[in-house]
Each structure stands twice: as structure tokens, then as C-alpha cells.
Amino acid sequence: MFELHYSNKKAGDLVKLIIGGTDNAGKKIEVVNSKQLEILRIPANPDDILEIIVCPAGSRDAAAIRFYGILSTSANEDYNKRINDIERQIRQLNGDQKRVKQLEEQLEALRKERDDALKKVEEQAQFIASINKDRASEIVKKAIELIETNKDIQHALELLDNIKLDEAYLDAQGKKIKAEAEIKQVIEGYKLKISLLQDKKDIPEKIICYEKIINIFIENQFDLLELSTIYDQVGIEYMRQFKYETAVEMLTKAIEIKRKMLLSTDASLLDSYLHLSWIFNAAKNYSAVLSTNQIVIDTLKKYKMIEWRLVDTYRLSAEALLKLKEPKNALPYLKEALDIAKTTQNTKSDAMKLSIILEITGKVYKEMKQYEQALPYYEESISMKENVLDNLNPGLAFAYDDMSKFLLETENIGRAIYYEEKAINILEKSRTPHDVRLINLYTNLYNHYGIFKYYQKALDVQHKVLQKYEKLYPSDDNRFPHLYRYIAENYILTGDYSMALGCHENALAYYNSITDHNRSFVAGNYKDLAGVHLLLGDISNAMMYFEKILSLADSPGNEESIFVFYNIAIQITNSVMSKVSLQDALEYQLKTLPILESRLDPKNQYLLNALHMTGFIYMILSDYHTALGYLEKAVDIDTSKSKNYGYLAFAYNNLGYTLTHLNRGVESEKYFNLSENISPRNSWLYRNKAVWYATQNRKKEALDALEKAVELGYNDLAWLTNIEQLNILRMEERYVKLVNKLKAQGNQ
């Protein structure tokens, strides 16, 4: 027993008690009831005794480690059950892509919750280990005993039933002697229950417990400062339940109490302001984030408290300004944060925080499209993480992935591939499974490879994705057909049409296995199969799939996929034109057009495309009178909302060419000019203008137009040397040079 006297303190004033690390014999010790000693005040009754409970150093941690094993096992079992339930729901869904996506988002969120919960298990274990069982209530003692004997927390939660705790509270109220101590034991029971609920994410139940503690504090006029801490904690729980207004109300109460009882520089008060800022950020009230953070910044700067809390506040304000699309205003905050962080980093944790600030600064410059300024910050952030983190740490992989995305935006694809490969290498060797994140990285990588035309490398990565799918998802999962189609595209680009055909057939087998399939996907799959058969020279099977698409598009109730169908129809028409014959292409187009005309608004731009394509085929077949009718209908469609729409430019161009062949040259010039205003780099436009100039006997302009067409990529030597209207140019030196140039390039 001992007494401490404070001549300059009065009852209720806060004091700080520091307890040494050794006893009088020099043995190392640690405090057991450290939570109880965090907030100490001068008691109103001088006879009130404060117990300080110590034990040999390491004893409490040994108990905490024992509880950690129990709690982490319980947390994993609970989450795995919920995860398996959602995965079962996904497997049972047939074609409901929207619901599948919702469940996948829930699944990803649940996995993140599990990871977060496991991080908090250590804190829970320390809390339980610090409870003074000699002074604890019977219900708390029994709950701890159940955790230790049954190796789970469910029995403890059942014992800590709200009704039983309420009964204990009412019983304690009825006792005048030791009433306050017993009531506080009830509070301790609620706190223990809250701690045990951490990994279960049972936010409503936790809030109920907090509210009961608050009511007990108010009814019994217990310590206000401790009550403010409860307000702070329950505010965070309301935030997690998306009840932002109530969360703000709780934090405001906490701040009001702390402002009256604490100095403005007190860490507890400043933390409450930061918690309030978190809530405003979650509610996307970024202006309130800035104003709240500014209170912390002004206080810390006024009293010259240059510390990491100031750095973190600067960073949070900068992130809020990024969300407000004010990257330029974020830069001063980041500069202040960097100036402090670079001079105060002493630990690996400090270095990691600095690397995050550097990364955010890079993002600010990226948002401003100032890529040269952004790059050094990204590079320095990566360098710091490489120095701090283990070379197989997933956090380093995610940093490499962010760098890859930045480089992709700057069109530095080669370096983007380098960092994506480094990220993948880490996750593939990581001890912790990151299959979903790996799939995302693989997807990014094979897209990068595609840009560089590394089709075989892309295929290798896509097969890794397929292996991950087979490990993670049931065979009827809707991811498989999409992946098969992507793999087929790369097989086509490598020239392996047989493998491409097999992949598309696998996708079709999936669609045929479900009754409620998406007809747009099926139509797309038919188009893919038709295209591969064309590449294999199998015209019969290609036309069979074309007919299947027509039948599918013409079936009742398929209006929602008409635009998808039209895009497929255009691609098929082009394929037939290039691989089969113009007559077959025209036959297919004449079947397609009535379907579109019966379903689309007469002014719809998709109808413009269809009319133009039909007129274009007639034009190529030299049936200019028929072509004229379709092309005039096409350009008559109102396109004021998209004057740069490409097919309108093509329609104007081909209408001008058709009118040239019908000896209506004055009208031709009008449509060529309209086409050039929309699409001035179309090689076919200048090809057609050359014919028109030649019919006007304007040789120089005709040759200028031909040279422009070739410059922009036109290379049909057979057309150039055979079309009758260009006969007047055959002996011109410029024409001969142009023909020889195309021959030298291997054109026919």
C-alpha cells in the first residue's frame, strides 16, 4: 500500500501513472490490468484504492498466445462457413449475371473481413489476458473458463447473454454495498462480449452492448472521460453499419466531453477528431473531412507538435482533395507531409508510411496528367517498399501492380509488363493464397502481351488463368466460356485455327448446358464459330452458324440484344465479302436489314449503318441505281447528336462515288466534302475523289487524291490499274511512279 499526493490537482483531474519494468529484486515484470490504468483520475474519496496487478514478464503474453489460437480458429470456422454458403449460391445460379456479380462482390468483401478480423484477434487475446480474474464477476470468470476449456467462443457468447447481463446489472443496482464495483463488473462483461464479437463482425450486437454501457454510465454518473471513449468506439461501429449521421453524433459527443476535460493537444482528443474525419470520408463528405482535419493540423502546428499524427492528417486531407477532383490543391498538403516524414522516419513502419505518401503524390501528378513529375514519386515509393518488405511480401506485389497500371496509362507498355511480371512472380511464390488477385494480374498481363503482339506469351498466361478457374470454380461457372473465347482469339492470331475452334466449341457447350442462357452471348459464340470455319475454308459450316444467328435474332422477345445482333451481322457481312462472295454477302445483308427495320426507330444510327452496308455492296457490284436508294436513305437519318459518327462519313463518301458513276458530278462534290469534314484520313475517300476528278478531266487533282489515298494506306493495285475512269492518267509520270511503288511493296 502506498499513497501519492498531488498538491496542484483536485478530485476528477487526470493523472498519468508510470509503472517500472522491474520489482525491488530486479526481476522483470509487466502490468496485467493495463487497460484499467489507461485513464486515471484523482478520486473524490481519498480512501478509494487502486489495484495495480503485475506478473513476471511474459506471463500475460503466454496467456494471450493461448487465447489467440482459440480465437483465430473460431474466426476462421465462422467465416469459412459463410464463404462456403455464398459459393454454393453462386454455383446454383444459372445465367443471372447481375446476381452472380453481387454475390462475388459479397464474397470478396467477406474474405477481406476475415483478413481484417484475424488482424484484430491478437488485440482480443491481449484484452482477455489482461482481465483480473480475482476481481472479475462470476459471469466473466465463467466465460473465460469456457473459452479455455471448449476452445471456442460460442459458448462464452451464449453465457454472456444480454438478458443475463441485464439481470446481473439489476441485481447489482439493488445492492447498496459494493454496488458500483458490481455494476462495473457488468460493464466489464459487456466489454468482454464486444471483444469476442470482433472477429464475427456482428456490428448490430456490438452496438447494443455499447449502448447498454453508455446507459449504465449515464445512470450511475460514472467517469465522463471513459464515457467519451465509449462514444468514440460506438461511433466507429455505426460507421461500419453505414449509419453515418448517428456515427457523427456519437463522435461529436465524445469530442464535446474531451474538449471540456482535456488539453487541446491531448492525443485522445486529436484521435477523436481523426475518427470523425474517417466517418465523413466514409460518407463521402470530403469537405467535412478537410474542415475536421484542419482542426488537428492547426492544433499540432500551433504547439509545434511535429509528429506522425500530423503527417497522417496531411495525407488524409490530400486524399480527400483527390476525391474532390482538386489534385492541384492536394499538393501543398503532401509537400508538408513529405517534409516531416523524410526527417522523422526511424522505423520500418515510418518508412512504409512515407512510401504511401510518395505513392499518393505520384497519383496526384498522374491525375493532373503530369506523368514526368509523377514517375519519380512512384519509383521512390517502390524503392522504399523494396527496402522494407520481404521480397515475397504480397504488399510489394500490389505496389508493382499499381506501378504497372501507371505505366500503362503513360503508354509505356514494355515497363508495365516488367512490373506486372514481378508482381505475379511474388504472388505465385507467396505462402498465402492470392488466387483471385493473381487472376486479375494474369488478365492485365495477357492484355499487355496482346498490345505487343506476343500472342504465344498471352496464351501461356491465359492457360494459367484457366488452371486457377478450375481450382476455384465449379465447371458450370460462367467465367469459363468467356475465357475460352479470349483464348481462341489468341489462337487465331497465332494461326492455330483448329485450337481456336476447340475453344469456341467449349464455350458453346457451356451455353447449351444451361436453359436460361443469354442469347446475345450465344449469338456472339455463333459468330466466333462462323469466323473460324471461314478461316479454315469450311464455307458450309460457316454459313450454318450465320443462319443460326438470323434465327436467334428473329425469335420473339429478343429486342434487348438487337444492337449486339447488328454488330455481329456487320462483322459477318464483312467476313462473307472477304472470304466467300459479294452475292452471298448481299443475300445475308438483305435478310438482316428487314429485321433491323422492323425493330429500330427509323432515325436510329444502327439503321444508318445497315442501309449503308447494303448500298455499299450494291455499289461494289456496280448496281449504282439500287445502291443510290439505300445510300440516300442512310444519309437522310438524323445524326446531329453524333456528327463525327464514322459510318455517316462512309455513307457520304460512297454516295459521292455512286453519284459520280451516275454522271451527277456536282452532287458528288457536295457529299465528298461532307465526308472529309467528318473523317479527313479515310484512304477510300481520296480513292473515290480521284475517280471524280478524273471524270472532270482534272488530272492534277486526281493524282493528288490518289497519292493521298496511298499515303493513308490504300493498296489495291488491281483496282488502280483496271478502273476505266482512270485511263486518262495511265501515261502520267506520277501515276506510273505510284503503280511501281505499290508493286515494290508486294501489292497485287
According to DSSP H, which parts of 452-496 are helical? 455-472, 479-494
Task: Among 17, 35, 57, give the residue marking a domain's end.
Answer: 57
Phi first, then psi: give them for residue 124, nearest 5 degrees. -60, -45
CA angle 352, 355, 359 (to 5 degrees): 140
Alpha carbon distance 84, 77 (integer Å): 11
Do the Cβ atoms of 358 and 377 come closer than 8 Å? yes
- Would you say residue 692 has pLDDT above 80? yes
- Would you say residue 579 has pLDDT above 80? no
- Would you say residue 117 has pLDDT above 90? no
Instruction: Report CA-CA distances (Å) from 501 to 38, 483, 521, 543, 672.
Output: 70, 14, 16, 15, 42
- Domains in the chain, number: 3
Pairing state between β 29-31 and 14-15 = unpaired
- Per-position DSSP letters for 635-664, written without gaps between them: HTS--GGGTT-HHHHHHHHHHHHHHHHTT-
- Is residue 27 assigned to a domain? yes
Q: Are residues 151 and 30 in the same domain?
A: no
At 180 the pLDDT is 75
Task: Among 574, 590, 619, give the residue marking a domain's end.
Answer: 574
Q: Are residues 496 and 535 in the same domain?
A: yes
Alpha carbon distance 168, 173 (integer Å): 9
Q: Read off the pLDDT band of 575 (50, 70, 90).
A: low
Q: Are residues 23 and 90 in the same domain?
A: no
Residue in 190, 184, 226, 224 with CA at minimum distance from that of residue 206: 190
Least confident of 113-117, 399-403, 489-493: 113-117
Q: Are residues 204 and 83 in the same domain?
A: yes
Q: How far is CA 183 from the centre of its chain?
A: 48
Alpha carbon distance 705, 689 (integer Å): 6
Alpha carbon distance 482, 525 (integer Å): 10
Alpha carbon distance 206, 189 (integer Å): 12
CB atoms inside a 10 Å sphere around CB 99: 12
> Which residues lie across from 55 on neighbouring strands?
30
- Would you say residue 130 has pLDDT above 80? no
Percent of the chain that is helix, strand, coil (3-state, to 5): 75, 0, 25
Instruction: Report CA-CA distances (Å) from 421 to 397, 398, 440, 441, 619.
Output: 9, 12, 12, 9, 50
- Would you say residue 603 has pLDDT above 70? yes
Average pLDDT over residues 332-358: 90
At 560 the pLDDT is 45
**CATH number, domain at 553?**
1.25.40.10
- Is residue 48 assigned to a domain? yes
Q: What is the DSSP letter of 724?
A: G
At 527 the pLDDT is 82
- Would you say residue 591 has pLDDT above 80? no
Q: Are residues 3 and 85 in the same domain?
A: no
Least confident of 182-191, 403-412, 567-576: 567-576
The x, y and z cell numbers of residue 176, run together, are: 447498496
Do the Cβ atoms of 253 and 231 come closer than 8 Å? yes
User: Is the pLDDT higher at 606 or at 703?
Assistant: 703
Q: 3-state DSSP call for residue 15?
A: strand
Mean pLDDT for the chain overall: 84
Q: Read off the pLDDT band of 363 (50, 70, 90).
A: very high
Q: Are residues 106 and 206 in the same domain?
A: yes
Q: Are residues 35 and 66 in the same domain?
A: no
pLDDT 10s digits, 79-109: 778 778 887 787 777 667 777 778 878 877 7
10 Å CB burial of residue 634 (0-12, 13-18, 19+) is buried
Alpha carbon distance 490, 446 (integer Å): 10
Do the Cβ atoms of 565 and 523 come closer than 8 Å? yes
Task: Among 525, 552, 574, give the residue marking a domain's end.
Answer: 574
Alpha carbon distance 607, 68 (integer Å): 67
Residue given cell 463521402 in the structure block: 284
- Is residue 617 assigned to a domain? no
User: Looking at this protein, which amino acid is placed at residue 632?
Assistant: E
Question: Domain range holding 147?
Answer: 60-222
At 561 the pLDDT is 52
Q: Read off the pLDDT band of 331 (50, 70, 90).
A: very high
Q: Are residues 174 and 87 in the same domain?
A: yes
pLDDT 10s digits, 250-306: 999 999 999 999 998 898 999 999 999 999 999 999 999 999 999 999 998 888 887
Q: Are residues 13 and 65 in the same domain?
A: no
Q: Read off the pLDDT band of 466 (50, 70, 90).
A: very high
The x, y and z cell numbers of residue 685, run together, are: 475517300
10 Å CB burial of residue 642 (0-12, 13-18, 19+) is exposed
Residue in 555, 554, 551 with CA at minimum distance from that of residue 595: 554
- Would you say residue 557 has pLDDT above 80? no
Alpha carbon distance 714, 708 (integer Å): 9
- Is residue 171 assigned to a domain? yes
Pairing state between β 54-56 and 40-41 = unpaired
User: Is the pLDDT higher at 380 or at 144?
Assistant: 380
Q: What is the DSSP letter of 30?
A: E
- Is residue 212 assigned to a domain? yes
At 588 the pLDDT is 74
Average pLDDT over residues 438-452: 87
List, as own/partner pairs, every contact residues 368-374 make where C-beta atoms lie below 8 angstroms and the sequence separation is at least 24, other chains included: 368/327, 368/328, 371/409, 371/410, 374/406
Least confident of 53-57, 233-237, 633-637, 685-689: 53-57
With pLDDT > 70 as the criterion, what percentage of the chain qualifies? 87
List, as own/partner pairs, every contact residues 147-153 make where C-beta atoms lie below 8 angstroms and the sequence separation is at least 24, other chains included: 147/67, 147/70, 147/196, 148/66, 148/67, 148/70, 151/70, 151/73, 152/70, 152/73, 152/74, 152/77, 153/70, 153/71, 153/74, 153/196
- Would you say residue 173 has pLDDT above 70? no
Q: 3-state DSSP call for residue 354?
A: helix
10 Å CB burial of residue 560 (0-12, 13-18, 19+) is exposed
Residue in 228, 198, 199 with CA at minimum distance from that of residue 213: 228
User: Is the pLDDT higher at 619 or at 576?
Assistant: 619
Q: Are residues 123 and 147 in the same domain?
A: yes
- Per-position DSSP letters for 550-605, written without gaps between them: HHHHTSTT-GGGHHHHHHHHHHHHHHHHHHS-HHHHHHHHHHHHHHHHHHS-TT-H
Alpha carbon distance 580, 279 (integer Å): 64
Q: Are residues 25 and 157 in the same domain?
A: no
Do the Cβ atoms of 445 and 417 come closer than 8 Å? yes
Alpha carbon distance 574, 320 (integer Å): 50
The x, y and z cell numbers of residue 74, run together, are: 473460431
CB atoms inside a 10 Å sphere around CB 332: 13
At 91 the pLDDT is 74
- Is residue 111 assigned to a domain? yes
- Is residue 590 assigned to a domain? no
- Would you say residue 748 has pLDDT above 70? no
Q: Are residues 203 and 97 in the same domain?
A: yes
- Is residue 368 assigned to a domain? no
Q: Read off the pLDDT band of 644 (50, 70, 90).
A: very low
